[in-house]
């Protein structure tokens, strides 16, 4: 799985550098934005890696990473929510859309969502953060976008490459994120962070697909939708 390892390693290095730079100048809004971007990159990699570990990998020694990822992901998102309040609405809304679409089909997915909600509730109860009214506008919008993308990707059949591309790369969630920025529900740095998350999520996905094709000498590593993955590349 050399392609996946390379992408994960490179992304981790980029993320760590950005986060370190951000914490080095805590009074600078620009450098604070680097923390958001760095964590979003790392979260994009972590979320897709967890997806693959749950759905595609059957080697138990690899699956042990599911638990630490299920803890790291909501904890990092909760940290971002402390400093970037729109993150709350985006995460909860996306989770609701995935739940309705039936994509939270593994216990550790639910553990991650519940852990995030608990952390947010604790910080809110302690008056560490204030949930703005705009958050309650972001939640349903993100939920609808997430649901439409997952429903279209899994349920709708089409021979048109444009439609397949749109659903595969979460067109509606991107469009609604841009709409939220245009309406003032989020700032430019939040949109950039979301796009960084999405780009690196797709990079890991692409690396997995190429590894499935190129590493035929390790068929025991992968399970499930091999033929589907090959067709997607």
**Residue 222, phi then psi, degrees to nearest 5:** -105, 155
pLDDT band of 229, cuts 50, 70, 90? very low
pLDDT in tens, 37-96: 999 999 999 998 888 888 766 666 677 888 899 999 999 998 888 888 788 888 888 889
- Are 141 and 176 a contacting pair, CB within 8 Å? yes
Q: Residue 15's pLDDT is what?
A: 92
Structural domain spans, the chain? 2-232
- Across the range 17-41, mean pLDDT stands at 86
Q: Residue 57's pLDDT is what?
A: 67
**Residue of higher predicted confidence among 22 and 169:** 22
Q: Residue 160's pLDDT is what?
A: 66
Mean pLDDT of the chain: 81
Q: Residue 192's pLDDT is what?
A: 92
Q: Is residue 145's pLDDT more than 50?
A: yes
**pTM for this one?**
0.82
Highest mean pLDDT among 136-145, 157-166, 169-178: 136-145
57 forms beta bridges with 222
- Are 51 and 225 a contacting pair, CB within 8 Å? no
């Amino acid at each position: 799985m050399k392609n996946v390892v390379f992408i994960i390693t490179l992304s981790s290095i980029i993320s760590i550098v950005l986060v370190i730079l951000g914490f080095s100048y805590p009074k600078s809004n620009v450098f604070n934005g680097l923390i958001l971007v760095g964590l979003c990159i790392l979260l994009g990699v972590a979320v897709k890696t967890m997806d693959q570990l749950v759905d595609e990998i059957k080697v138990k020694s690899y699956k042990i990473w599911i638990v630490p990822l299920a803890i790291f992901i909501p904890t990092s998102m909760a940290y971002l929510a402390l400093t970037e309040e729109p993150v709350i609405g985006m995460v909860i809304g996306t989770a609701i859309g995935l739940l309705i679409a039936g994509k939270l089909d593994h216990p550790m997915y639910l553990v991650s969502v519940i852990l995030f909600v608990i952390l947010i509730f604790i910080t809110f109860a302690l008056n560490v953060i204030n949930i703005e009214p705009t958050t309650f506008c972001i939640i349903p919008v993100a939920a609808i976008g997430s649901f439409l993308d997952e429903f279209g990707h899994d349920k709708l059949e089409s021979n048109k490459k444009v439609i397949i591309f749109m659903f595969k790369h979460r067109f509606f969630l991107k469009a609604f994120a841009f709409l939220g920025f245009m309406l003032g529900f989020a700032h430019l740095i939040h949109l950039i962070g979301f796009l960084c998350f999405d780009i690196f999520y797709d990079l890991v996905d692409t690396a997995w697909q190429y590894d499935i094709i190129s590493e035929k000498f390790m068929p025991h590593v992968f399970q499930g939708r091999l033929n589907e993955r090959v067709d997607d590349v």
